[in-house]
A and B are shown apart, each in its own frame.
Chain A
């Protein structure tokens, strides 16, 4: 079960490689992803969305990640995007072009549905490219650097990055644990029940309680291990791995800003 879960979760799964995208500094990738996200919501016509889709495709191609690997991880979000689309199709207010009971297919609904679905899909696809091409360490280091300016408003950038890094580190461990608990309870005749909603929810208790308790125990152990190694929340740390900023990073960021500028321009004057 959790194997399925892990396959669906592309986030935090590094796909080793030496492509130009892999070689970029994680910070520039973070900035690029952020701008891409803003751009998706600035764009308001098919030309803009189409352009951004092409951009995502080009980056995917440059990253040398096989379509199959990418597709497997995006299946989950694709289903979600389709669901969002369908929901908008039928429930968006507007001029009905087809009606059956309470389901009203509207023209506006089709437009917004398609747009929302595409945006959602592109958003996740593009950020997946960021995580697939960056080692988890680089990813969280880059995240910390990106968040650093926000320290002035009191955002604990280093702590957020550390927490994320630990979460990434423990995802496989916790999933493994979940598998073991499911097996153990099945050996006692338990497992996820069929039947009504209440029964199903009740059958989750023997799985989730041990999982939560174990997560807390791990957290406690880990906190001790970190403390034993002189970690201090808010303390000054140095970094072993240094990620140099190279010219392709500057080009990437500049290019992304240009894309955003064009889209904003299009919206103002277009």
Chain B
């Protein structure tokens, strides 16, 4: 058992405590999820579990071993393995096998025993054949599995995972969760799982909600996700199926109150099923006519791009990519990790040039050594590219480079900061490095908006943000769209693109495999799976209802649309429910 007793902790340079009086117990074999907004103390609490941090006050015991006692810390650490958020930065050795062996080597085990453990651990995560591969040739999901294998090789009983899926695409995320729940069943491994994704938290036996370093609530998922209103004040949200159930409960179908999973919601709805469904004509989706638009903004015709073959990144080549985008569109690009999404973004910005085919943006052809004017590209985790001494320097950099006159800079910067909700009087002179994670992201967005792009391209702009941050970002994209800008963003979150995008481009292994409205694209489960993706969570609810005989149309993949459909089928007024 891991016992955290009344633990408080304050980081050296902080005035606010990261944790205040947190108590917690984790039993062997249990699955505990820890949720909370960015900066709520989740990672700090996780680091308490294996003595990476030692409490200022209170005590942490791992099977009775005190992590504050230098003589017991190593025995305690052996029992509690850790998987970090960034798969790249926890890979110590130059090959998979050596990395898994690293822990047992530190324990001083004999070589034969280490070899046995390495092989068993890699078998358990299905990575035996990669034993001699260097890390930069693995996918993010594989790296996370190597990290889990490293934990197994230590024969740990508890596994702490700090947002392990946040850098993975939906398919890899799904398979990592399957691996974890299998290992838990087979090896009785306890999981302490930190996440920002509510669907993942639902899988746990118990959830701990943290807010500003304090435990707000610790209970079974059902109790935690009973009240969406309550969650929102902690910048959290209901998982999609529960959000849907809660909406229907508010519409009068109270028997759906508090339901959590897709299966539950589908079955409860089915109990309310009216005797006869209204007949309605089958909606045949309209095939869009190939009308000619006078002014295409982006035209890609048979674009090929061959990335030079080196160990540099897992960048995918593009093959015969053709599409066209009108001014003012709001489109998302989806696809598994390494499908060519970022490559396409770089091409659209003019950072790369096509090796075959043609690409024109705003009527200009791509040419070497010049980016497309009036195209802004925000990179993934843009805060990793910050350099300025002040926010002003950082934000004005782009405007200056594109030739803005020095005297216009203050106004431009003020405007750009205002767009991302930051007051330039308060922030201009601050160091960007002193800001919180969310504020840094805003500064980076301003640093691109300052160039007044007509086309804005964003590579996974919501990655690493909590639910509150994600909603804010999506509102910003909608605002920019409303001002007539073309907005194209890359996403791994199917829920997000279902709700906000007007058009989806799906890439798979460098080819454009689908292009159309989200309701159509995301309703093709088989095709999506082939492209390494999954439909959004509510698609599964719609599917479960269809399996029960409900004529729910395939394109009902957002909460609003599915709610309308189900309410219509239920026949308006709620029946008296018990």
For the complex, is B97 an interface residue (Cβ under 8 Å from A)?
yes
B interface residues with partner A (beta carbon < 8 Å): 47, 50, 52, 74, 77-78, 81-82, 84, 86, 88-95, 97-98, 101-111, 114-115, 118, 134-136, 150, 154, 308, 310-313, 346, 349, 351, 371, 376-377, 379, 382, 384-387, 397-398, 400-402, 433, 447-448, 451
A-B pairs with beta carbons under 8 Å apart, 13 shown? A6-B311, A137-B94, A166-B92, A184-B382, A185-B385, A187-B351, A188-B401, A190-B397, A221-B84, A221-B90, A222-B90, A224-B90, A230-B107
Q: Which residues of B contact A137 (CB under 8 A)?
A: 93-95, 98
Please name the residue on chain A nearest to B380 by beta carbon. Answer: A180
- Known contacts A190-B398, A229-B150, A230-B154; 12 additional CB pairs below 8 A are A136-B95, A137-B93, A175-B312, A184-B377, A184-B382, A206-B385, A206-B387, A209-B387, A210-B385, A229-B92, A238-B107, A240-B118
Q: Is the CB of B371 within 8 A of A165?
A: no
Knowing A3-B312, A137-B95, A224-B84 touch, does A237 contact B106 (C-beta < 8 A)?
Answer: yes
For the complex, is A199 an interface residue (Cβ under 8 Å from B)?
no
Residues facing B in A68-108 (CB within 8 A) are none
Q: Which residues of A contact B82 (CB under 8 A)?
A: 224-225, 228
Q: Is the CB of A187 within 8 A of B377?
A: yes
Q: Is the CB of A218 within 8 A of B89?
A: yes
For the complex, is A231 an interface residue (Cβ under 8 Å from B)?
yes
Q: For the complex formed, measure the closest distance between the CB of A173 and the CB atoms of chain B, giving whole angstroms.
A: 6
A interface residues with partner B (beta carbon < 8 Å): 2-3, 6, 135-137, 165-166, 168-169, 172-173, 175-176, 179-181, 183-190, 205-207, 209-210, 213-214, 217-218, 221-222, 224-232, 235-242
Q: Which residues of B contact A224 (CB under 8 A)?
A: 47, 52, 82, 84, 90
Q: For the complex formed, measure the closest distance between the CB of A131 and the CB atoms of chain B, giving whole angstroms.
A: 12
Q: Is the CB of B105 within 8 A of A240?
A: yes
Q: Is the CB of A231 within 8 A of B106?
A: yes
Task: A70 to B398: give the CA distance in the assembly, Å.
Answer: 42
Q: Is the CB of A184 within 8 A of B385?
A: yes
Q: Is the CB of B89 within 8 A of A179?
A: no
Q: Is the CB of B312 within 8 A of A230?
A: no
Task: A184 to B386: give the CA distance in the assembly, Å.
Answer: 10
Q: Which residues of A contact B50 (CB under 8 A)?
A: 228
Q: Is the CB of B86 within 8 A of A221?
A: yes
Q: Is the CB of B379 within 8 A of A228?
A: no
Q: Is the CB of A169 within 8 A of B93?
A: yes
Task: A173 to B313: give the CA distance in the assembly, Å.
Answer: 8
Knowing A224-B52, A232-B106, A240-B105 touch, does A189 contact B401 (C-beta < 8 A)?
Answer: yes
Q: Is the CB of A187 within 8 A of B349?
A: yes
Q: For the complex formed, measure the closest distance between the CB of A18 and the CB atoms of chain B, giving whole angstroms.
A: 14
Task: A14 to B115: give the CA distance in the assembly, Å.
Answer: 23
Q: Is the CB of B92 within 8 A of A225?
A: yes
Q: Which listed residue, B84, B97, B118, B397, touches A188 by the CB 8 Å rule?
A: B397
Task: A237 to B106: give the CA distance in the assembly, Å.
Answer: 5
Knowing A206-B387, A238-B105 touch, does A165 contact B77 (C-beta < 8 A)?
Answer: no
Q: For the complex formed, measure the closest distance between the CB of A217 and the CB atoms of chain B, giving whole angstroms.
A: 8
Q: Which listed residue, A187, A209, A226, touches B376 by the CB 8 Å rule?
A: A187
Please name the residue on chain A nearest to B400 by beta carbon. Answer: A189
Q: Which residues of A contact B114 (CB under 8 A)?
A: 238, 240
Q: Which residues of B contact A229 (CB under 8 A)?
A: 77, 81, 92, 102-103, 106, 150, 154
Q: Which residues of A contact B402 (CB under 8 A)?
A: 189
Task: A81 to B495: give the CA distance in the assembly, Å.
Answer: 59
Task: A268 to B464: give the CA distance in the assembly, Å.
Answer: 69
Q: Is the CB of B111 within 8 A of A228?
A: no
The 4 closest A-B pairs by CB, nearest first: A189-B401, A221-B89, A225-B90, A209-B387
Q: Is the CB of B310 within 8 A of A3?
A: yes
Please name the residue on chain B nearest to A232 by beta carbon. Answer: B106
Q: For the complex formed, measure the closest distance between the CB of A133 and the CB atoms of chain B, giving whole angstroms.
A: 15
Q: Which residues of A contact B78 (CB under 8 A)?
A: 230
Q: For the complex formed, measure the closest distance between the CB of A175 and the CB atoms of chain B, giving whole angstroms.
A: 7
Q: Is the CB of A240 within 8 A of B106?
A: no
Q: Which residues of A contact B94 (CB under 8 A)?
A: 135-137, 165, 168-169
Q: Which residues of B contact A210 (CB under 8 A)?
A: 384-387
Knowing A6-B310, A221-B90, A228-B81 touch, does A236 contact B108 (C-beta < 8 A)?
Answer: yes
Task: A184 to B351: give the CA distance in the assembly, Å.
Answer: 9
Q: Is the CB of B385 within 8 A of A239?
A: no
Q: Which residues of A contact B385 (CB under 8 A)?
A: 181, 184-185, 206, 210
Task: A238 to B349: give the CA distance in the assembly, Å.
Answer: 51
Q: For the complex formed, measure the closest distance between the CB of B33 and the CB atoms of chain A, giving whole angstroms.
A: 20
Q: For the complex formed, measure the closest distance between the CB of A215 and the CB atoms of chain B, giving whole angstroms.
A: 11
Q: Which listed residue, A180, A230, A235, A238, touches B379 by the CB 8 Å rule?
A: A180
Task: A231 to B50: give the CA distance in the assembly, Å.
Answer: 13
Q: Is the CB of B346 within 8 A of A179?
A: no
Q: Which residues of B contact A176 (CB under 8 A)?
A: 136, 312-313
Q: Which listed residue, A172, A181, A231, touches B136 by the CB 8 Å rule?
A: A172
Task: A184 to B78: give the CA distance in the assembly, Å.
Answer: 41
Q: Which residues of A contact B92 (CB under 8 A)?
A: 166, 169, 222, 225-226, 229
Q: Which listed residue, A209, A227, A242, touches B111 by the CB 8 Å rule?
A: A242
**Most chain B Cβ neighbours within 10 Å, of A136, A222, A228:** A228
Knowing A187-B377, A189-B398, A228-B81 touch, does A239 contact B386 (C-beta < 8 A)?
Answer: no
Q: Is the CB of B109 within 8 A of A188?
A: no
Q: Is the CB of A239 within 8 A of B312?
A: no
Task: A218 to B92: give the CA distance in the assembly, Å.
Answer: 11
Q: Is the CB of A240 within 8 A of B397?
A: no
Q: For the complex formed, measure the closest distance between the CB of A227 and the CB atoms of chain B, giving whole angstroms.
A: 6
Q: Is the CB of B91 within 8 A of A169?
A: yes
Q: For the complex formed, measure the closest distance between the CB of A178 and the CB atoms of chain B, giving whole angstroms.
A: 10
Q: Which residues of A contact B386 (CB under 8 A)?
A: 209-210, 213
Q: Which residues of B contact A183 (CB under 8 A)?
A: 346, 351, 379
Q: Which residues of A contact B382 (CB under 8 A)?
A: 184
Please name the residue on chain A nearest to B394 by beta carbon. Answer: A206
Q: Which residues of A contact B376 (CB under 8 A)?
A: 187
Q: Which listed residue, A165, A175, A237, touches B108 by the CB 8 Å rule?
A: A237
Q: For the complex formed, measure the closest distance between the CB of A176 and the CB atoms of chain B, giving whole angstroms.
A: 5
Q: Which residues of A contact B47 (CB under 8 A)?
A: 224
Please name the residue on chain A nearest to B403 by beta carbon. Answer: A189
Q: Is the CB of A241 within 8 A of B351?
A: no
Q: Which residues of A contact B349 (CB under 8 A)?
A: 187
Q: Which residues of B contact A175 (CB under 8 A)?
A: 312
Task: A206 to B401: give the CA distance in the assembly, Å.
Answer: 12
Please name the residue on chain B nearest to A177 by beta carbon. Answer: B384
Q: Is the CB of B313 within 8 A of A179?
A: yes
Q: For the complex formed, measure the closest distance between the CB of A132 and the CB atoms of chain B, giving whole angstroms.
A: 15
Q: Which residues of B contact A221 (CB under 8 A)?
A: 84, 86, 89-90
Q: Which residues of B contact A180 (CB under 8 A)?
A: 313, 379
Q: Which residues of A contact B433 (CB under 8 A)?
A: 213
Task: A184 to B401: give the CA distance in the assembly, Å.
Answer: 13
Q: Which residues of B contact A190 (CB under 8 A)?
A: 397-398, 401
Q: Which residues of B contact A189 (CB under 8 A)?
A: 371, 397-398, 400-402, 451
Q: Is the CB of B105 within 8 A of A239?
A: yes
Task: A92 to B94: give the CA distance in the assembly, Å.
Answer: 45
